[in-house]
Chains A and B, each alone.
Chain A
């Protein structure tokens, strides 16, 4: 069975230094501990800079002894991430997973993956080929995708806005708060309630 107390600890720990780490974790729909949503900010100095990337996280019943299943919701142009469905090719999410790793360390690893692609072990062959053959073009595409999909008007963001608006908050305020919390629904909700 899923170790719920560990997941709860991880949620608290994962959001402790969101400002500096650029990583946050939240429940996806408020009740289900096995379905979470993570966000990472694009690392500075990469084509992903300025973007906020949403990652869908599903915890198998064997978690933390089995790795969490992670997938990019935000579309991203990267050799190790499928441009079609956001599937990730990263060893610690597969055979190199250890129960002493956490969702936060996994998200930080994803952030590191954005900084340091491994085109020799690609998930998306098209992207990897472009990365190796025409790096400049790769950077251009990746940046364009970041602008298009990972900035505040992204699909993930729209969903969150819609959800909070449905709770009865004015859309302008919701967008402003979500912007400030870098898309973290729970924190945004807290701010909206307190403000």
Chain B
């Protein structure tokens, strides 16, 4: 059911991108269907942590899938253009594996394409002589010891082997190998490689060919997880960039960082950069330094007296103890080396002013630390949850089924809960990066955001607690427990409530928190200065679409299309799902109402 809906969407979007899909559509849909079932089955097996609410807009490809597709493309071009398989491969490689592009270019100007790519219409025979000089080693050989590409420029086998071997060890450039004669551009294709290269080099070549099919193609990317051999084909214009590979790693197709929906790629990039630069140093800085009262740079006092002079260009001279200007120090303060202003002021409680100054200086660091700590904690909490999920799947479920005399099929709600926890930890983690970049002066937005985040977080904590601690009782029980059914209802309920909280949070962030503000959507859209909207969208859309369109750097069109799609094809998209009567939000597989948040 779901998958059928997805295919509708995929085609809607595809047709918008003519350049890219025009040639592929008939074939693409066939592939799509087949792949779809495959992926869907996989997610039934529960690896796919995002399957709950995500429309799948991508296909995971294994190495054999890739080879098969590549072979099909080559075959198609070779059939349509009536050229050899090798020539078709050279052509596709040149035009970045776009079948439609090859067709377009070829039928527009075949002669020019042949020239550019180095394919001759008719092969040229080698010069007809008993002995021929090799153009590389300058020795003469009898003509049956010589080899030539389609151009007929003869070189001896040893030199060919050297030429091909050097090219292959130089890297993927060997896929575009030409005849060694500098005046000749004729392509040296896979047939020559098979004939001339060593076995090891042949393997390298075919690996490059495979990689090229993924790396040169705009629609496909390798999964960035270390050691993972799967690739992902993405349907351009899909509503979400989040992709979950069969290796269970989730990543953003756009920036290939770990999945970070609902936060946009630019914010994530900024955040990651900031973390690299600061996280390790943060604790140390906080523990060992004070910020210069004037320029706010952190200063470490590693020796010497209390008279601190900040480094140029600041050069501010101050007292380490009270952080006041040194010029105010001297006899009056009990001598240069015993600043009793600090003590006295502290005793009087009249130290608020400079204490506050120090507070402010520390603030920016503290603010970052606040968000970073929560980001990192959710990160590790997610890792733990993922491990718990696996141990649940692999051992505990069986044990539980034993102890409580329940068939494993009846215990799926526990896996559902853990999947939800893993996914929510991920979302929550990224909302802290979002929060860090949400401007202080966006007061209403900040409040709304923090409210949603707080609700979601509280829900998640309840769910996590229930799945982690309360379950333990039933795992350890000697005999089936009566109130296990109560536990089932509770955990399943918490799962769906938490899901709804997070769906609301995600939706709010993806639309740039536009529900806030007394002046309505349109006016708010224009004033919208959240970090997301600063990244800008393409104008020329209606007010509503524009707000949504601003939510991601290069994904703006995707979001917009998703929303338009939602409005116009709502009946199709919500088929098989339940809709909450009050908020009109679709509520996922379980058809539960969105509960509190709609009130």
Contact residues of A with B, CB < 8 Å? 3, 5-6, 9, 13, 62, 64-66, 92, 95-96, 98-101
Q: Say whether A100 contacts B180, CB under 8 Å.
A: yes
Q: Which residues of B contact A64 (CB under 8 A)?
A: 136
Interface mask (B142-162 → A, CB under 8 Å = 1, otherwise 0): 000000000000010001001
Chain B min CB distance to A90 (Å): 13
Q: Say whether A3 contacts B137, CB under 8 Å.
A: yes
Chain A min CB distance to B250 (Å): 39
Q: Say whether B163 contacts A5, CB under 8 Å.
A: no
Q: Say whether A5 contacts B182, CB under 8 Å.
A: no
Select from chain B the residue with minimum beta-carbon distance to A97: B182
Chain A min CB distance to B340 (Å): 62
Task: Select A65's contact among B135, B139, B166, beta carbons within 8 Å.
Answer: B166
Contact A6 B180, CB 8 Å, known A66-B166, A99-B162 = no
Chain B min CB distance to A97 (Å): 9
Interface mask (B165-203 → A, CB under 8 Å = 1, otherwise 0): 110000001000000111000000000000000000000
Select from chain A the residue with minimum beta-carbon distance to B153: A100
Q: Which residues of A contact B135 (CB under 8 A)?
A: 100
Chain B min CB distance to A120 (Å): 22
Does residue B138 face the partner (Cβ distance < 8 Å to A)?
Answer: yes
Cα distance, A5 to B137, chains bound together (Å) = 8
Q: Say whether A99 contacts B159, CB under 8 Å.
A: yes
Chain B min CB distance to A12 (Å): 10
Some 22 contacts from A to B, beta carbons below 8 A apart, are A3-B137, A5-B137, A6-B137, A6-B138, A13-B138, A62-B162, A64-B136, A65-B162, A65-B165, A65-B166, A92-B182, A96-B182, A98-B180, A98-B181, A99-B159, A99-B162, A99-B180, A100-B135, A100-B136, A100-B180, A100-B181, A100-B182
Q: Which residues of B contact A98 (CB under 8 A)?
A: 180-182
Select from chain A the residue with minimum beta-carbon distance to B166: A65
Chain A min CB distance to B41 (Å): 47
Select from chain A the residue with minimum beta-carbon distance to B165: A65
Q: Which residues of A contact B166 (CB under 8 A)?
A: 62, 65-66
Q: Which residues of A contact B155 (CB under 8 A)?
A: 100
Select from chain B the residue with minimum beta-carbon distance to A105: B182
Cα distance, A62 to B165, chains bound together (Å) = 10
Chain B min CB distance to A45 (Å): 26
CB neighbors of A among B66-113 (8 A): none
Q: Which residues of A contact B159 (CB under 8 A)?
A: 99
Chain B min CB distance to A96 (Å): 8
Cα distance, A92 to B183, chains bound together (Å) = 12
Q: Which residues of A contact B138 (CB under 8 A)?
A: 6, 9, 13
Q: Which residues of A contact B180 (CB under 8 A)?
A: 98-100
Q: Which residues of A contact B182 (CB under 8 A)?
A: 92, 96, 98, 100-101
Cα distance, A5 to B139, chains bound together (Å) = 9
Chain B min CB distance to A190 (Å): 24
Q: Which residues of B contact A95 (CB under 8 A)?
A: 173
Chain B min CB distance to A134 (Å): 35
Interface mask (B100-140 → A, CB under 8 Å = 1, otherwise 0): 00000000000000000000000000000000000111110
Q: Which residues of A contact B165 (CB under 8 A)?
A: 65
Chain B min CB distance to A72 (Å): 23
Specify which of A3, A9, A65, A92 lies most central, judged by the most chain B CB atoms within 10 Å of its CB.
Answer: A65
Q: Which residues of A contact B136 (CB under 8 A)?
A: 6, 64, 99-100
Chain B min CB distance to A112 (Å): 14
Cα distance, A100 to B138, chains bound together (Å) = 9
Q: Say whether B139 contacts A99, CB under 8 Å.
A: no
Cα distance, A98 to B162, chains bound together (Å) = 12
Cα distance, A99 to B180, chains bound together (Å) = 6
Chain A min CB distance to B238 (Å): 38
Chain A min CB distance to B216 (Å): 19
- The 4 closest A-B CB pairs, nearest first, are A65-B166, A98-B182, A100-B135, A99-B136
Chain A min CB distance to B397 (Å): 58
